[in-house]
């Protein structure tokens, strides 16, 4: 199995369970791993034989910067399901790592994150 990684995509969204999160918004970081066969793309150097990274970036952007969700789990799930739906011919599975760097939690921490895997990866 081959993989495409889109690392630390950064977007501004309004997700969260607390009122200030949905009012003020915050930065979210997304890393996407796509399981796919890259052999033909590597042999032919043809963009049509792989997954267009720019399109995946825009898909993630639309979801993270779109309608607010209470949970980052829901944001990650929406990204994964859209990727698998739109690229079902090329992607057998995906892993979404979604980071919320500054949730309004009192205490010392770097960030909170979820990691979900859907399909075969």
Among 23, 78, 90, 100, the one annotated catalytic: 100
CA neighbor of 48 nearest in space, from 61, 38, 35: 38
Strands (DSSP E) contained in 14-111 are 26-36, 91-100
Pull the structure tokens for residue 69: 């969700």
CA neighbor of 8 nearest in space, from 34, 24, 29, 23: 29
The H-or-E segment that residue 84 falls in is helix 72-86
3-state secondary structure of 32: strand
Residue 100 falls in the annotated catalytic set: yes
- Residues carrying an active site annotation: 100
């Amino acid at each position: 199995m081959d993989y495409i990684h889109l690392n630390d995509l950064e977007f501004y969204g309004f997700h969260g369970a607390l009122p200030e999160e949905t009012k003020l918004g915050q930065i979210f970081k997304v890393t996407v791993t796509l399981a796919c066969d890259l052999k033909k793309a590597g042999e032919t150097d043809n963009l049509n034989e792989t997954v267009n990274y720019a399109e995946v970036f825009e898909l993630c952007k639309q979801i993270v910067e779109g309608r607010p969700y209470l949970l980052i789990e829901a944001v990650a799930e929406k990204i994964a399901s859209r990727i698998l739906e739109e690229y079902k011919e090329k992607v057998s599975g995906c892993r979404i790592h979604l980071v919320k760097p500054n949730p309004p939690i009192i205490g010392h921490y770097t960030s909170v994150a979820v990691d979900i895997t859907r399909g075969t990866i």
